[in-house]
Structure 1
């Protein structure tokens, strides 16, 4: 028999998924009805409830964006940990409270007109009354309830532990709690607003100001970024009892036996539950701002594919970034914002940090060059892009980072010769520059069945194409190399051993592969060109972007990638279209370089003799092919 669920532990619409947003339907329908009839929409309570809900989402999102822009907030972080997929999934429905309070607000709006005049836009007396009621009633009531939830093991385990299951406090953590807790929070929030209305001081601004400030302070306390300079509390000591800090609330999450207040530490002082480390720790974090930045061992230097995929970063829509990238409906309204933001980043930032994770007790960052994929193919943009990549390499060298790996187009042969340009310009670099293509070649090769005797290779004279062709010919696999340049083909053929050269065959047309059912695609091919493949062909590929899955009678491989070990900590976003915990092979190649402690640069042409060495090292460190 299944265990009985405790009353009010789960939300009524818990199993509704995204359909829960249909609960806003009645409000939107009423607004639409008024608009259709030509009546005033702005004076409708349904409109104001919907607007207020939107603003509450915006506050939470803006706080999330700020505290997860590591290039802005990393020097003031309290816990130097990243949010993982488990926490993101646990907090997926953090916004349930907004839906609940929207309905409670609708009920109140129908009741309160009989008590007071809600047509008033502003009444300062109401704001003052609400502030007094909040300080004298809501604050101690919250403190007492919160302390009770911790002191009673049943209440904590059944209800409050849901909130504390998030190891890294985030703005979305603030409202992730059991249904019962938010019913009690409605009461706590309602007392100042209803109280001010009952004494005749109600106004529209009272609702907006109180609710939005309440949300702002809750998000701030859970931001994991210390936003207050310690000098404020040294100059005005009494302030430390009137407003909490993120450090103050963070101690509650890490130690759980102190700092129970809502926003005012005064009640912890009166209740003898104030953590004595609160202000000293806050001062240390404030003093060390700009000094306590953790230096990663490894950096993956990525770039943006297009404007819509630029939104697929953790500091934008966290839930979206935690899933493989795909075009979704909500991207369209965010497109202009992303476009404007990218112009700002071009002007302001050379690179910026988007995520980090820990593996084998080493910190690994992903930095992004604020350039779109199409820019890499514009001749006049070459110098600017190389300057930004070079700036990132020199920054990494100055910081003491050991390995920097170049992603996709950042190592384009036409751009910088696969990274050779930077190593030549700076021969004394301590940071190792790595293109990671050796592991990309290894992953692609190991996807090909051992019994295959013939393959068709496009992009055959590229760095990867050359390495794959030379490796396969050693296995006595006949390689049909598609290229119109006989000179480049012969140059590669001469690199092979004399007894292997016969396995490398130049072809100039796709029709030459009409009887070959193993294609390795290193150059984008059109649906028309895919028609040349026989039925049953499998398309392996190392081309960016991937080719279209046009043929129904053929199969298509994914881009070369590897799955990170299970003990990787702090993974909370997907790398472009990759699944959770999966990274591009070039990213994994740089990671292996770092884990192995290799001291050579991996730039320019791929050393075919190292393909097996790198592959075995990757497997030894727990990375697995996808």
Structure 2
């Protein structure tokens, strides 16, 4: 086991989520005193400390969420790459420093209760004093402590972890070791302590200093440049008073420059200023309103429901980095999500939510501001198609090469699997792809070669038709559940003459009581599942997936593939999929882009291309989920 440097690990490192119980005595004191109607001064300050702790937590979380609103910040990003899963995991416990400083403040309250009791609500002298102490004491103190942490002896055990975050985010400020935060606590604590010793402290000054201190840390670590360059043009000396996100990013990338806390003045005094700081800031600031790099590929997604709309990087970064599932903490946020839904209905703007890089190509996910249930409202179809069409035309104007349509955006009843747009705009340069060919390939390659009979629901859909025709060519008997004899016969006529006998129309689930391989393309109830014999395996391409009702049967995942290992900047999961795994229709668009195919993939599936697309996917390093280790 490697030796751990003293004071590098956090004392509560192994407590996990239970670390928040360390604040229990603080909460207990406030609750107990309130119930007892005890107005003692200790309770009053415990309440203020608790409120300040909560405010700090929400400030860092809010600022991080804003930075991940790519539809607002994409043209202002300093480091263009995305935040990946590795960085999110490293920064998982970013709030340790808030707990530490709350505990130290609680100890101070216990040791000096009367000194805190005397503090008034406001004192103008306190404001002046705390600013002076910060400028004269905290700023140079932080500067030299920061330089020491970059020394040969201290950097690796204590500071390298902070610099391992490639893309700075507000929560990166708290991604530090225990020793670092003890030093930062000293820096933030000295002005507050100094005000108290000089007898000019106040509650508002303490609140204000801590919140402003945190805001400026968030500001510098944001990776989003919001400081306009004209401020420095009109007030040149102001550049030495306040740093910018660009200024900090240079320290994060080149390290041995720009050590200051908030004031570049000290880098100037001690000759550690990066000479590119102001030129780079001006360049980024001037380019803020201009379009950034055009994506090669766009996946046009949609929101499934109100709860899952919270599974976005700009809502909760850590939650979006895991596969979606209903969580208790989502319940209080539901009303806000509902209001956001109403706003989306009014604005109706397709927006960017995530991106990643693959083989030097930029892949983006855009979301149509419509929820799943809206796709089944007859009066909403025209409006939804309008939004999809606008997104396709926007991609075409930008120079996007491929746009892939997610599940309901390519609904047959809605737009014929994308055919509507291709026919309406025959001169499109962007290739429109529904990705269902790869979806069919994934399902078909999950069916063992020794299977002789398959029961297929949703048999006359685009995917059902292709799966049935492919299997019948392979000599598999396909029981196609459909009440439409005409649609069945049309599909049967597409099959080679010597294979048509393998396609059998059935109208009831009882027909599959001896078939152990079900391919589900239309949602089935637990009661309908009862007709499957024991040891049946349910393959499925239905959204939402069917309930795993039978314990004596097995259930396959929705058709999905894992992206190649060399994908960069991917930090959010696609709905219920695991990390790095996307729905097969998304993966189909990726393959279309990587192969550089020039045809549209819309409407009915070309059965002859199923194997072609499958081999191309494997060639580029995509892996079917069924082959991944459990």
Unmatched tracts of structure 1, length 5 or more: none
SS at 2:354's partner residue? strand
> Does the CA-based 8 Å contact 1:41-1:47 persist in structure 2?
no
> Does the CA-based 8 Å contact 1:268-1:274 persist in structure 2?
yes
Matched residue, 1:115 = 115
1:324-339 counterparts in 2 under 5 A? 324-339=323-338
What is the alpha-carbon distance in structure 2 between the residues aligned to residue 560 and residue 591 of structure 1? 15
What is the alpha-carbon distance in structure 2 between the residues aligned to residue 389 and residue 35 of structure 1? 55
What is the alpha-carbon distance in structure 2 between the residues aligned to residue 94 and residue 31 of structure 1? 26
What is the alpha-carbon distance in structure 2 between the residues aligned to residue 321 and residue 171 of structure 1? 17
Matched residue, 2:463 = 464
What is the alpha-carbon distance in structure 2 between the residues aligned to residue 359 and residue 486 of structure 1? 46
Matched residue, 2:343 = 344
What is the alpha-carbon distance in structure 2 between the residues aligned to residue 128 and residue 112 of structure 1? 23
1:419-458 counterparts in 2 under 5 A? 419-458=418-457
What is the alpha-carbon distance in structure 2 between the residues aligned to residue 506 and residue 101 of structure 1? 70
What is the alpha-carbon distance in structure 2 between the residues aligned to residue 620 and residue 174 of structure 1? 41
Matched residue, 2:507 = 508
1:220-369 counterparts in 2 under 5 A? 220-369=219-368
Matched residue, 1:164 = 163
Deviation of the 1:313 alpha carbon: 1.0
What is the alpha-carbon distance in structure 2 between the residues aligned to residue 310 and residue 529 of structure 1? 31
What is the alpha-carbon distance in structure 1 between the residues aligned to residue 577 and residue 501 of structure 2? 38
SS at 1:64's partner residue? helix
Deviation of the 1:292 alpha carbon: 4.5
SS at 1:14's partner residue? coil
Partner deviation per Cα, 1:383-439 (whole Å, 9 max, x = no partner):
111111111111101110000000000100111111111111111111111000000
Does residue 86 (structure 1) correspond to residue 86 (structure 2)? The answer is yes
SS at 1:401's partner residue? coil
Deviation of the 1:35 alpha carbon: 2.5
* Bigger mean CA offset, 47-56 vs 261-270: 47-56
Partner deviation per Cα, 1:245-292 (whole Å, 9 max, x = no partner):
000000000100100000000000001000010000000001111225
After superposition, the Cα gap between the structure-2 partners of 1:617 and 1:480, relative to the gap in structure 1 and judged at 3 Å, is same
Number of matched pairs = 624
* Bigger mean CA offset, 24-33 vs 207-216: 24-33
* Bigger mean CA offset, 442-451 vs 325-334: 325-334
Deviation of the 1:47 alpha carbon: 1.9
Does residue 173 (structure 1) correspond to residue 172 (structure 2)? The answer is yes
1:468-547 counterparts in 2 under 5 A? 468-547=467-546
Partner deviation per Cα, 1:3-42 (whole Å, 9 max, x = no partner):
4321100000011111111112111111221232234599
1:31-110 counterparts in 2 under 5 A? 31-39=30-38, 44-110=44-110
Does residue 217 (structure 1) correspond to residue 216 (structure 2)? The answer is yes
Deviation of the 1:370 alpha carbon: 1.4
What is the alpha-carbon distance in structure 1 between the residues aligned to residue 79 and residue 242 of structure 2? 21
What is the alpha-carbon distance in structure 1 between the residues aligned to residue 316 and residue 179 of structure 2? 27
Deviation of the 1:464 alpha carbon: 0.4
Deviation of the 1:208 alpha carbon: 1.2
Deviation of the 1:382 alpha carbon: 0.8
Matched residue, 1:621 = 620
What is the alpha-carbon distance in structure 2 between the residues aligned to residue 420 and residue 390 of structure 1? 11
What is the alpha-carbon distance in structure 1 between the residues aligned to residue 40 and residue 359 of structure 2? 58
> Does the CA-based 8 Å contact 2:65-2:317 persist in structure 1?
no
> Does the CA-based 8 Å contact 2:229-2:281 persist in structure 1?
yes
Matched residue, 2:583 = 584
Deviation of the 1:116 alpha carbon: 5.4
* Bigger mean CA offset, 22-31 vs 584-593: 22-31
What is the alpha-carbon distance in structure 2 between the residues aligned to residue 551 and residue 113 of structure 1? 63
Does residue 142 (structure 1) correspond to residue 142 (structure 2)? The answer is yes
After superposition, the Cα gap between the structure-2 partners of 1:384 and 1:613, relative to the gap in structure 1 and judged at 3 Å, is same
Matched residue, 2:129 = 129
Partner deviation per Cα, 1:318-353 (whole Å, 9 max, x = no partner):
111111111112111111122222222332352111
> Does the CA-based 8 Å contact 2:109-2:116 persist in structure 1?
no
1:538-617 counterparts in 2 under 5 A? 538-617=537-616
Matched residue, 2:391 = 392
Partner deviation per Cα, 1:108-135 (whole Å, 9 max, x = no partner):
2234443354452222221221111001
* Bigger mean CA offset, 494-503 vs 30-39: 30-39
What is the alpha-carbon distance in structure 2 between the residues aligned to residue 263 and residue 345 of structure 1? 38
What is the alpha-carbon distance in structure 1 between the residues aligned to residue 118 and residue 168 of structure 2? 37
Partner deviation per Cα, 1:455-476 (whole Å, 9 max, x = no partner):
0000001100000001000001
Matched residue, 1:381 = 380
What is the alpha-carbon distance in structure 2 between the residues aligned to residue 291 and residue 353 of structure 1? 16
Partner deviation per Cα, 1:70-92 (whole Å, 9 max, x = no partner):
11001111011001111111111
What is the alpha-carbon distance in structure 2 between the residues aligned to residue 4 and residue 587 of structure 1? 45
> Does the CA-based 8 Å contact 2:348-2:387 persist in structure 1?
no
SS at 1:301's partner residue? strand
SS at 2:497's partner residue? coil
What is the alpha-carbon distance in structure 2 between the residues aligned to residue 387 and residue 61 of structure 1? 35
1:25-36 counterparts in 2 under 5 A? 25-36=24-35
TM-score, with length taken from structure 1 = 0.98
After superposition, the Cα gap between the structure-2 partners of 1:342 and 1:41, relative to the gap in structure 1 and judged at 3 Å, is farther
> Does the CA-based 8 Å contact 2:301-2:406 persist in structure 1?
yes
After superposition, the Cα gap between the structure-2 partners of 1:336 and 1:138, relative to the gap in structure 1 and judged at 3 Å, is same
After superposition, the Cα gap between the structure-2 partners of 1:219 and 1:496, relative to the gap in structure 1 and judged at 3 Å, is same
SS at 1:44's partner residue? helix
Partner deviation per Cα, 1:530-582 (whole Å, 9 max, x = no partner):
00100000000000000000000000000000011111111111111111111
After superposition, the Cα gap between the structure-2 partners of 1:194 and 1:312, relative to the gap in structure 1 and judged at 3 Å, is same
After superposition, the Cα gap between the structure-2 partners of 1:611 and 1:338, relative to the gap in structure 1 and judged at 3 Å, is same
What is the alpha-carbon distance in structure 1 between the residues aligned to residue 336 and residue 359 of structure 2? 38
> Does the CA-based 8 Å contact 2:257-2:272 persist in structure 1?
yes
> Does the CA-based 8 Å contact 1:118-1:204 persist in structure 2?
no
